[in-house]
Chains A and B, each alone.
Chain A
Amino acid sequence: MAEPMKIRATLQGDIADVRILFLHPMETGTRKDSKGDIVPRHFIQNVAVTHNGKTVLDGQWSQAISRNPFLGLRVKGAKAGDKISVTWTDNKGDTRTDEVAVAAAL
């Protein structure tokens, strides 16, 4: 049930300021529901960001990261129109990829 991300990439000089919002339960596996049963672990394990196909960030996440997380990064050597692509994979094998073009500074 992979939900789309929201990605913004704005140019500041030759640096792309990239901001990503994820929709994911990021369930720790220690929480109990109203019936008292453990809610199973369900969290993003890997996040990869590429710039024109080249990997610029490869992150291993744990269940410590909160629900509906935010990730921000700055990518050097970017130009307007460059492709920023984000892929996440979770512990259930679910995966999602979204991409945007770097927008020129206003």
Chain B
Amino acid sequence: MPRKQNSITALAVVCLATWGAAPAMAQSGDPLAVGRQMLAEDNPGELWIERGKTLFHQKRGPQDASLEQCDFGLGPGKLEGATTRLPRYFPDTDRVQDLESRLLTCMVQLQGFNRDDIVKRAISPAGSNGSDVEALTLYITSRSNGMKMNVSLSHQKEYDMYKAGEYLFYRRSGQTDFACVQCHGGANKRIRLQDLIHMTDKKGVQEVVSTWPAYRGAHFVVRTMQWRLSDCFWQMRLPELTYASDVSIALTTYLHYQGNGAVIKVPGFKR
């Protein structure tokens, strides 16, 4: 195919893409807002939902079992609304667990996977096809789309976890003297051009808890809250947060409870 024809056709395609999408926009004028709305309406992350669903029902692992018997708090296999109540206390493990830690429990107990192996691959490399954990986490969360975050604190360990998360949110350490609050404690703040969600504000924290897992554009894969927390500690020049650790669950409990009332809408879209 001659080069000129290639570029003209490609241009037509691009024009069609933008012209086709733009008139549906409610906003006009602010190009960033228009762009963000376009990304939100057609999010590549949605393609991970189907993958997650397949993985959920597929017989996998040494025990050749599916995840259909996994109890996320509402009974085995009951997914609708499950993530709106997480993190929560689970009597069988005697721990407060978030979604990813609970998924880990089921993958080990029901399917026979080795825990360390799952943890090693849970966060996929940027530009890859993504991990099974990322797809499953998104699928399970998507089953609560449209429902409100509704974490309750009733078990003592849930209270303890919440308070620990609050303590950790304000805990400053390392050569940057950063706690979460240094970057996420004010309105309309940004690091370079990356907006920082105002997490000591109800609306801000509701946005956080309702938009993860999210498609991370720059990585071309779906990312989860566990990844997001570890990435913050990376920027803060602190050691690496262990996947599905108590610190991660404490912070998640704190944020989710603060964000109660938020309407789940995943996958989110991040830069």
**A–B interface present (Cβ within 8 A):** yes
- Using CB atoms and an 8 Å cutoff, list the residues of chain A in contact with chain B: 3-6, 8, 17-19, 21, 23, 25, 47, 57-62, 64-65, 67-68, 70-74
Q: Does B238 contact A (CB under 8 A)?
A: no
Asked if residues B17 and A59 are in contact (CB atoms below 8 Å), the reply is: no
Residues of B within 8 A of A25 (CB): 127
Instruction: Give chain B nearest CB distance to A31 CB in angstroms.
Output: 9
A61 partner, pick from B13, B19, B41, B220, beta carbons under 8 A: B13
Within 8 A of A (CB), among B82-136: 127
Which residue of A19, A62, A74 is within 8 Å of B42 (Cβ)?
A19
- B20's closest neighbor in chain A, by CB? A72
Residue on A with the closest CB to B9?
A60
Contacts of A57 on B, CB cut-off 8 Å? 13, 16
Give A58 to B94 CA distance when docked, in angstroms.
58
Known contacts A71-B17, A72-B16; is-contact A61 B24 (Cβ 8 Å): no
Answer yes or no: B28 CB below 8 A from chain A CBs.
Answer: no
B→A interface (CB under 8 Å): 1, 5-7, 9-10, 12-13, 16-21, 24, 41-44, 46-47, 50, 127, 220
User: What's the Cα separation between A70 and B1 when bound, in Å?
Assistant: 23
Question: What's the Cα separation between A74 and B21 when bound, in Å?
Answer: 9
Interface of chain A: mostly helix, strand, loop or mixed: strand
Main secondary structure of the interface of B (DSSP, over half): helix
Hey, which chain A residues are within 8 Å of B50, CB to CB? Answer: 4, 6
CB-CB under 8 A from A21, the residues of chain B are 42-44, 46-47
Q: Which residue of A lies closest to B17 (CB)?
A: A72
B125 — nearest CB in chain A belongs to which residue? A34
- Name the one of A60, A61, A67, A68 contacting B5, with C-beta atoms under 8 angstroms: A60
State the Cβ distance, B123 to closest chain A Cβ, in Å. Answer: 16
> Given the complex of chains A and B, what is the CA–CA distance between A16 and B5 in angstroms?
27
Q: How far is the CA of A25 from the CA of B16 in the complex (A)?
A: 22
Asked if A73 meets B17 with Cβ closer than 8 Å, knowing A6-B47, A21-B42, A21-B46, the reply is yes
B10 with A64: CB separation less than 8 A: yes
The minimal Cβ–Cβ distance linking A50 to chain B, given in whole angstroms, is 15
Are B21 and A72 interface neighbours, CB within 8 A?
yes
Assuming the A-B contacts A17-B20, A18-B20, A19-B21, are A72 and B42 also in contact, with contact meaning beta carbons closer than 8 angstroms in the complex? yes
Query: Are B44 and A68 in contact, CB atoms less than 8 angstroms apart?
Result: yes
Asked if B1 and A60 make an inter-chain contact with CB atoms under 8 angstroms apart, the answer reads: yes
A73 with B20, Cβ < 8 A, contacts A21-B47, A23-B47, A62-B6 known: yes
Is the Cβ of A59 less than 8 Å from the Cβ of B44?
no
